[in-house]
């Protein structure tokens, strides 16, 4: 992406390195699939899964997309801004938990049997 003066300029990183990264990505994916069948709380599972996904994303961006070998100014232009914007999107999240609470508050009570009618 940066100014490659010649088409023959060496594309940093050997095929061996890329295969090694690919093996890591496959292993991390297998760990994710195994995690799905482990009994654990949703929050813990979500945290581990997101952690693994961020590691995988970082590997792809750094090696496959070659960002690790680009100049620092490009990295600083792209990454911090993206991270800040995505964090800002989470501003809405407390509202989600609030609306979850509202829903249960107005829930219909479960139906009960009518009281026996007393005649005479």
Partner 1 sequence: MWLFIVSDSLTFSALLIGYSYLRASNVWPTPFPFYPSIVFASVMTFCLLSSSLTMVFGVSASSKGDKAKARKWIFATIVFGTAFIVLHLIEWNHLMHQGLRPFYLPQTWVEVFTTTDGVPPSPLFGATFFTITGLHMFHVATGVIYLAVVALRVKKLKHEDVEISGLYWHFVDLVWMFVFPLIYIMSVDVGGHLPH
What is the rounded (10 degree) CA torsion for 75, 77, 78, 81?
130
Judged by CB under 8 A, which of 72, 99, 113, 117 binds partner 1? Answer: 99
Place of tokens 């295969």: 19
Rounded to whole angstroms, how far apart are CA atoms 113 and 111?
A: 7
Q: Is 1 helix (H, G, I), strand (E, B) or coil?
A: coil
Interface positions with partner 1 (CB under 8 A): 1, 4, 7-11, 13, 15, 18-19, 22, 25-26, 29, 32-33, 35-37, 39, 42, 45-46, 49-50, 52-53, 56-57, 60-61, 63-66, 74, 77-78, 81-82, 85-86, 89-90, 92-93, 95-100, 103-104, 107-108, 110
């Amino acid at each position: 992406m940066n100014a490659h003066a010649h088409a023959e300029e060496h594309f940093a990183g050997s095929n061996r390195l890329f295969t090694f990264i690919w093996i890591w990505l496959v292993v991390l994916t297998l760990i994710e699939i195994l995690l799905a069948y482990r009994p654990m709380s949703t929050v813990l599972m979500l945290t581990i899964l997101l952690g693994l996904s961020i590691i995988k994303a970082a590997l792809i961006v750094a090696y496959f997309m070659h960002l690790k070998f680009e100049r620092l100014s490009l990295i600083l232009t792209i990454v911090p801004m993206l991270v800040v914007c995505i964090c800002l999107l989470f501003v809405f999240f407390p509202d989600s938990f609030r609306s979850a609470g509202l829903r249960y508050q107005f829930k219909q009570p479960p139906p009960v049997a009518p009281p026996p009618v007393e005649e005479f």
